[in-house]
Amino acid sequence: MPGLGRFIVARVLLAIPTILILLTIVFIVMRLIPGNPILAMVGMKAPPEYVEELMHKAGLDKPLYIQYIDYLSGIFRGDLGRSLIWGRRPVIAEIMDHFPATLELTIFAFIIAVILGTTTGVFGSSLRVIKGWRKFDSLMRIYGIISWTLFIPWIGMLLQLIFGVWLRVLPVAGRIDPGLEPPRITGLYVIDSIITQRWDSLVSALRHLVLPSITLGLVISGAFTRIVRNNMIEIFKQDFMMTYKAVGVSTWKFISAAFRNAFIPIMTIMGLQFAYLLAGAVLTETTFSWPGMGTFLVERITYADYTTVQGTVVFFAIIVVTINLIVDIVYAFIDPRIRY
Amino acid sequence: MDFRKLPRLGISKTTLALIIVIIIIIAGIAGYIATRPPAAPPTTSSPTTLTPSPTTTSPTPVVKKRIVIGVTDKVTDLDPAQAYDFFTWEVLNNIMGGLVQYKPGTTEIVPHLAKSWEVKENGKVWIFHLRKDLKFADGTPCTAQNVVWSIKRVMRIKGDPSWLVTDFVEDVVAIDNYTVKFILKKPVSYFLALLATPPYFPVSPKYKPDEVDSDQTAGGVGPYKIVKWVRDEVLVLRANPYYFGPKPKVEEIVIKFYKDATTLRMAIETGEIDIAWRTLRPIDIESLKKNPNLNIIEVPGAYIRYIIINVKMLPTNNKLVRQAIAAAIDRKEICEKVFMNTTVPLYSLVPIGMWSHEDVFKKYGDGNIELAKKLLKEAGYSETNKLKLELWYTPTHYGDTEKDLAALIKEQLERTGMIEVTIKSAEWSTYLDYTRKGALMLSLYGWYPDYIDPDDYLTPFLRTDSNAWTGSGYSNPEVDKLLDEAAVLTDQSERAKLYKKVQEIMADEVPIIPLFQGKLYIVTKKGIKGVVLDPTMLFRYYLLYWETGS
Amino acid sequence: MPFKRPTFIVSSLIKTLFKGKYPGKTFLLIGLALILPIILMAIFAPFISPYDPTKSVGDPLRPPNSLHPFGTDNLGRDILSRVIWGSRVVLAVVLLSTALSAAVGVPLGLLSGYIGGKVDRVLAMIMDSMYAFPGLILAIALASVLGPSIINAAVAIAVVYIPIYFRMTRGPTLQIKEQAYVESAYAAGASSFRIMFKHILPNVVPTLSVVLTLNMADAILTEAGLSFLGFVVVPPTPDWGFDLRAGQPFLPAGYWWPITFPGFFILLLSLGFGLIGEGLNDMLAGKEI
């Protein structure tokens, strides 16, 4: 593959300044927040000199540019530093405590969004083109629009109300019944409980996943409907599809042929929606008290825990950039013209 | 994107791309698993032979050996050198102990690890004689050297609460295996109260000597020991066989950490847990009171809420203005409307239940609009020349009722017709920073005591320099003198007289307006006894037991 | 006659809007039907609101009844009044932030594309980084620095959406810059400013209108999200997202009305803008596909 290697290298190199820029923006923004984490922890009780001493110990009284350089050099060594509050645990450990929860939620939500979005998008577009069902297509489009305009906390709360309070069939908050957590292998409760054959853990984890992933998945599916539909219609307009139609293949073969060709671009664009998924996760987690990165990040921002917030943002950025990178590379692999 | 290329290249390219994507994902997952920190070290435990508690109260004797407590608080660090929050201190009080402790149900200090002590040099030197039968949870003996090592460790590590030691203790030595001598920087009459706090607890030698050991489960000399600890999930305690004191009636205590008050509430409602401790919201307490299977026990807590007033800023530098605010506030309405009576009105900084407490602010009344208007007129304000005030609150640190508290206070002040209130908010660290800088006119705050003594409720607010964190700028040399004197006197009734005077001055000058005192709520299944709560707010798990036949 | 033209344009525009046949018509009209009442509600709030939304006027937590059609909240405030007045906050933040992002993003994109070279590449890279990053999180970080207020929230949200407008104008600018007629115009002595205006801007306007409306729908959700997290208003100012959060603790006890009504209006407003955007998209694309 001529140029693919060069393309990959070029894109990876391009990813680095992107992450650096984000890091810098977050660093600046966080330092602009008045107050500091040491103060937040002991400010009320301890004598002022003591607070100064703790701040000095944490290196917070050094000039800003030195703190910035220190932080950057730490990043390059792979060291994200330590939290500035409570037990001063390493940021990586704290992130790893909370990331699996968000990952599990987003995976399930993504699956639900893909299923909902693909079916509505495929059937809406196909049946319109083949059978001329315009109204059905419009209906599918309306579904798409309504779902992305839903406010996540509102839908979440309505589901909590109906299934948790009135019907009492599903739990309204948390990730699992405390005490039922499976031994930690991947941190994803569903997988861990299957591996260790803890079926009560599995049931509890799945029950707690239902409402939050439906909430998030439903809202994300709206964007997916549009993506699928648009791409399918593009395919349908192609000459070769007209050929299929003229030849008279069965409806089902026709739809699946179109879908197979639209599949790659659809998946790649869906991958790019990952950033939206993370943003949506913050609101979902807050609504369902889901112990993931979203609630964790917001909490640490309010305590001005610089290192943890910076580390988390870097982490997010790396993930988003990596996924975009994979998507772009796959795209370029398919279509050599993209590699400039 | 030109899709015309795809069909000519055939399906194989698609499959190829898919394979690449899958490989990358698998590589990612493998890399991810490789980066995770090792799992928490397994603790020394034999698998439990107890059956899990059923959700109905069937009288099988096995059930009585265990109580499950649900909380939404977190344990931050299992290390007294760093832990500085209420709930972790409670846990530490159950797996460790100090030279002295509070007699349950009172604020009286009695011997614990030490069986007697002497005070020399007018309160500057304290000598403690330890019991000879002290052992850690693994059976190793605890001697004076362990006590000294633990305290010096706290001083060395300089964690968040270490100032409770370093501010007072000059040096500590082991005179022999069972005698500890403290040399203080200056005489402190409430030193025993300090000694009862976790930074002074002896810890197992297994603790890392020079750094914070957040997940260390070796404990100290306490009625329970830790057998399982999974951060933010569960903490399991078992009775410590080497404990010198009376054995706990319940063999095993399981603490489950819930993510929020709603799940905690549902857990106690469904019987999943036996006890729900703290943090339930007023609305939850209201609903649970109606449940026939549950007992709600309430006690006045030692937790107080108040308004800090900046006395250097216009217009609150005018005493009449501050007094008018004190008159217009209706504590009864606040407790009823915002907190559904889960709090009680408080008329002094010293809480109800603490010796020397005086209802000094009662003279202003509650919602006394007449008095407020009179004072405002005297200060030169009127319906056309309104007093403009800024009221600050912090939205998350004190719970989600805070915004309602601020809104109600604004309404109450504006009932005078001569005040206009603007509400402002800031997140916790920003809030503290602004406060310290003296930038906030009126700010809502709360206070949990570090040590149970009126000094901890008055000095940090009223004494010059000690109150620097409030940014209020209040400074009265007479008050300083009274507080300093009371801090060294040993006779409680003498001290009480001085503290009463301080409270009277405070009620006249109004640098702070006490609002209410929190009640502590514990929700238990019917049949659980031994719940002893007192102003120390320490929940002693080792006093709990199941009523026979329940 | 000179004065007849504007009114003529406006009236014929409205006539075609309703009577004409064009793709996207249904979406457009439904969307307008959804947002216009809410906009009117915001404008006439002082006249139509039955009570002062910031004061307790009834018993706390009463279900919807004849006195309070939407019920009362836990402090006894009328929820209908709070919903009506809340529309002002939402619309203010959303309109302000959209205007700000467009006002900054569009010229920035034009300039960057026009200048080209290193400056353009650097700026584009920064904008791409911001675009790729989850917007809500950036807004949260900014809002916590600035403190809760309507202006600050609008600024925080505006910053998040600037890259969209930037990308939207930079692309066409880069393209058109190469075009022959631009080069000839430049050679003929037309100022660069004029070129940008005359040739590039008109190309961008149709896309801009679609982006603007869809952006507003998104901004409504972002504002509600920020408000939900407490970064927009302070009590007792009513705001839909904030009231939603305030009502959540009362759900387990069965009090459903504090959250249902504010949330419903968030849906109506963002759905309305979303439908308008999709309708415009169809209309400008020429046909419905």
CB contact under 8 A, A172 and B266: yes
For every residue of A193-211, DSSP letters joined together read: HHHTT-HHHHHHHHHHHHH
Nearest to B92 by CA among B223, B247, B274: B223
Helix, strand, or coil (residue B55): coil
A96 min Cα distance to partner chain B (Å): 7
Locate the chain C residue with the closest alpha carbon to A309.
C141
| Alpha-helix runs per DSSP H in B415-526 | 428-436, 455-462, 477-488, 492-509
Residue-wise over A185-195: b if at least 16 C-beta within 10 A, else e? ebbbbbbbbee
B28 min Cα distance to partner chain C (Å): 20
Instruction: Kindly tell me if the per-residue pLDDT of A122 is higher than 70.
Output: yes
Locate the chain C residue with the closest alpha carbon to B265.
C252
- Residue pointed to by tokens 């000039």: A63
pTM for the complete prediction? Answer: 0.83
B46 falls in which pLDDT band (50, 70, 90)?
Answer: very low
Q: What's the pLDDT score for residue B129? A: 95
B45 falls in which pLDDT band (50, 70, 90)?
Answer: very low
**Sequence-separated (6 or more) residues with CB below 8 Å from residue B265:** B276, B280, B284, B287, B288, C252
Q: How far apart are CA A217 and CA A106, in angstroms?
A: 8
**Sequence-separated (6 or more) residues with CB below 8 Å from residue B263:** A171, A172, A173, A174, A289
Q: What's the pLDDT score for residue B49? A: 34
Q: Is A72 on the interface with B (CB under 8 A)?
A: no
* Residues B3-21 pLDDT 10s: 333 333 333 444 554 555 5
CB contact under 8 A, C56 and B396: no
**A92 neighbourhood in chain B, CB within 8 Å:** 35, 37
Residue A42's identity, in one-letter code, is: V
Give the angle B449-B453-B455 at the CA atoms, nearest 5°: 90
In degrees rounded to 5, what are phi and psi of residue B519?
A: -95, 150
Nearest to A84 by CA among B394, B396, B429, C268: B429
Task: Please say whether the dihedral angle defined by the alpha carbons of residues A18, A21, A27 and A32, taken in this order, is positive or negative.
Answer: negative
What is chain B's Cα-based Rg? 28
Contact B299, B520 (CB under 8 A): yes
Neighbours of chain C (3+ CB pairs under 8 A): A, B
For chain A, first and last CA: distance in Å? 14
**B261 neighbourhood in chain C, CB within 8 Å:** 249
Give the burial class of B49: count Cβ atoms within 10 A of its Cβ; 0-12 exposed, 13-18 middle, 19 or more buried: exposed
**C141 neighbourhood in chain A, CB within 8 Å:** 26, 29-30, 301, 309, 313
Q: DSSP letter at B41?
A: P
Write down the domain spans for chain A: 98-267+283-302
C173 falls in which pLDDT band (50, 70, 90)?
Answer: confident
In degrees rounded to 5, what are phi and psi of residue C264?
A: -65, -40
pLDDT, greater one: B159 or C19: B159
Give the burial class of C222: count Cβ atoms within 10 A of its Cβ; 0-12 exposed, 13-18 middle, 19 or more buried: buried
pLDDT, greater one: B549 or B129: B129
| Alpha-helix runs per DSSP H in B250-330 | 261-269, 282-288, 319-328
**B33 neighbourhood in chain A, CB within 8 Å:** 186
Residue C282's identity, in one-letter code, is: D
CB contact under 8 A, B410 and C249: no
Locate the chain A residue with the closest alpha carbon to B464.
A47
Q: How far apart are CA C273 and CA A150, in angstroms?
A: 12
CB contact under 8 A, A282 and C136: yes
Nearest to B549 by CA among B64, B54, B56: B64
Q: Which helix (H) or strand (E) holds B80?
A: none
In the stretch 84-103 of chain A, residues with CB closer than 8 A to chain B read 86-90, 92-93, 96-97
- Least confidently predicted of B210-214, B366-370, C216-220: B210-214
Q: What's the pLDDT score for residue B24? A: 53
Q: Is A181 on the interface with B (CB under 8 A)?
A: yes
Q: What's the pLDDT score for residue C121? A: 84
Nearest to B452 by CA among B345, B540, B537, B531: B537
CB contact under 8 A, C145 and A157: no
Q: What's the pLDDT score for residue C181? A: 57
Locate the chain A residue with the closest alpha carbon to C145.
A33
C192 falls in which pLDDT band (50, 70, 90)?
Answer: low
Report, in this order, helix, strand and coil percent for chain A, each rounded to 5: 75, 0, 20
* Residues A158-200 pLDDT 10s: 999 999 888 888 888 888 887 788 888 888 999 999 988 888 8
Q: How far apart are CA C278 and CA C34, in angstroms?
A: 14
CB contact under 8 A, A151 and C270: yes
Residue from the list B39, B259, B468 with its beta carbon closest to the beta carbon of A173? B259
Q: DSSP letter at B141?
A: B
Mutate to test the interface with C, among A25, A125, A146, A154 (most CBs of C within 10 A): A154
- Residue pointed to by tokens 């602009």: A32
Percent over 70 (pLDDT), chain C: 87
What is chain C's Cα-based Rg? 23
Residue from the list B24, B429, B450 with its beta carbon closest to the beta carbon of A45? B450
Neighbours of B439 (CB within 10 A): 16
A139 min Cα distance to partner chain B (Å): 27
Q: What's the pLDDT score for residue A335? A: 63
**C251 neighbourhood in chain B, CB within 8 Å:** 262
Mutate to test the interface with B, among A244, A264, A318 (most CBs of B within 10 A): A264
Q: Is B262 on the interface with C (CB under 8 A)?
A: yes
Contact A284, A293 (CB under 8 A): no
**B258 neighbourhood in chain A, CB within 8 Å:** 174, 178
| Cα atoms in the 13 Å half-sphere on the side-chain side of A73 | 5
**B395 neighbourhood in chain C, CB within 8 Å:** 230
What are the tokens at C234?
């302070």
- Residue pointed to by tokens 């514990």: B522
CB contact under 8 A, B469 and A235: no
Q: Which helix (H) or strand (E) holds B344?
A: strand B343-345
Residue from the list C60, C245, C250 with its beta carbon closest to the beta carbon of B337? C60
Q: What's the pLDDT score for residue C149? A: 86
* Residues C233-260 pLDDT 10s: 888 999 999 999 999 989 888 899 999 9
B302 falls in which pLDDT band (50, 70, 90)?
Answer: confident
In the stretch 365-404 of chain B, residues with CB closer than 8 A to chain C read 395-396, 400, 403-404
In degrees rounded to 5, what are phi and psi of residue A110?
A: -60, -45
Q: What's the pLDDT score for residue B90? A: 93
pLDDT, greater one: A15 or C97: C97
Residue from the list C224, C256, C289 with its beta carbon closest to the beta carbon of A233? C289
Q: What's the pLDDT score for residue A71? A: 81
In degrees rounded to 5, what are phi and psi of residue A5?
A: -60, -45
**Sequence-separated (6 or more) residues with CB below 8 Å from residue B539:** B90, B277, B522, B531, B533
B206 falls in which pLDDT band (50, 70, 90)?
Answer: very high
Neighbours of chain A (3+ CB pairs under 8 A): B, C
* Residues B262-296 pLDDT 10s: 889 888 988 889 999 988 888 899 889 999 999 99
Q: Is B297 on the interface with C (CB under 8 A)?
A: no
CB contact under 8 A, C75 and B426: no
Q: How far apart are CA C247 and CA C262, in angstroms?
A: 10
Q: What's the pLDDT score for residue C191? A: 61
| Alpha-helix runs per DSSP H in chain C | 4-19, 25-43, 45-48, 79-115, 117-132, 135-146, 150-178, 180-187, 192-195, 201-228, 240-247, 257-285
Residue-wise over B375-384: b if at least 16 C-beta within 10 A, else e? bbeebebeee
Nearest to A222 by CA among A128, A122, A146, A111: A146
Neighbours of B336 (CB within 10 A): 15
Q: Is A47 on the interface with B (CB under 8 A)?
A: yes
In degrees rounded to 5, what are phi and psi of residue B109?
A: -95, 130
B266 min Cα distance to partner chain C (Å): 8
CB contact under 8 A, B408 and C230: no
Mean pLDDT along residues C99-124: 86
CB contact under 8 A, A154 and C128: no
Q: Is A138 on the interface with B (CB under 8 A)?
A: no
Neighbours of chain B (3+ CB pairs under 8 A): A, C
Residue B187's identity, in one-letter code, is: P
Mean pLDDT along residues B104-114: 89
Q: Are strands B275-277 and B66-71 parallel, antiparallel or unpaired?
A: parallel
